Amino acid sequence: MAPLLVTLWAVYLFGESLTPVQVAAIGAVIIGVLILGLRGHGHLIHDRRAVGYALLTALFISGYTVFDGIGVRHAGNPHGYVVWLFILDTIPFCLLALGIHKSQTVAIMRSKWRLGLIAGGMSLAAYWLVVWAMSLGSIPVVSALRETSILFAALIGIFLFKEPMGSRHIAAAVSVAAGVIILRAY
């Protein structure tokens, strides 16, 4: 739902423009991701509360995606924007963690600092690329392209965890891939 909400926010609230081909391609990505979310015999809703949390998460993701896209354009420098964003996010969260669970936080930081640096560096690099891309191109298009990670998650599930690959998985992968190819071509 996040790419759909990003598209709606960006177009209707911030005047982002999309061609009909881009709208169709974003739709193909959204449909592919939705198909992957279906379980069993095509049922989407197993637990209404879980679906509610997922929709709330999509709302937050779409909000920060659009506002980061608008923010980086106003900042004029994607690199400075990302650095300040990470600094201004990291310090309060660390202080909050230390304030709430000081001994546990310190113990985890001491024992897992290497893993934390690696994960933090990867997170910074991934988000940096997305924000940089939004400074150059359409926010809804970048949001839809970011959903290609779902293909990698599906492949990891299939090859690493030996999850079965049925026709639903193939249809979803084809839909996402077609959307991405169209977005890249246009």
Using 50, 70 and 90 to split pLDDT, how confident is the model at 101?
Answer: very high
Using 50, 70 and 90 to split pLDDT, how confident is the model at 1?
Answer: confident
CA distance 59 to 83: 24
Q: Is the pLDDT of residue 48 over 70?
A: yes
Residue type, 57: T
Q: What is the pTM of this model?
A: 0.80
What is the rounded average pLDDT of the residues 61-67? 94
Q: Is the pLDDT of residue 43 over 60?
A: no
| C-alpha pair distances (Å), 77 with each of 85, 131, 134, 146 | 12, 10, 11, 21
Domain boundary assignment for the chain: 2-185
Chain segment 6-27, per-residue pLDDT in tens: 999 999 998 999 999 999 999 9
Can you give the pLDDT at residue 42?
Answer: 52
pLDDT-above-90 percentage for the chain: 60
Written as one string, the DSSP assignment of 6-66 is HHHHHHHTT-----HHHHHHHHHHHHHHHHHH-BTTTB--S-HHHHHHHHHHHHHHHHHHH
Can you give the pLDDT at residue 92?
Answer: 94
What is the rounded average pLDDT of the residues 107-131? 93
Is the pLDDT higher at 74 or at 34? 74
Is the pLDDT higher at 60 or at 41? 60
CA distance 39 to 163: 13
User: Facing residues of 43 across strands?
Assistant: 39
Can you give the pLDDT at residue 158?
Answer: 85
CA distance 171 to 163: 16
Is the pLDDT higher at 4 or at 148? 4
Is the pLDDT higher at 167 or at 10? 10
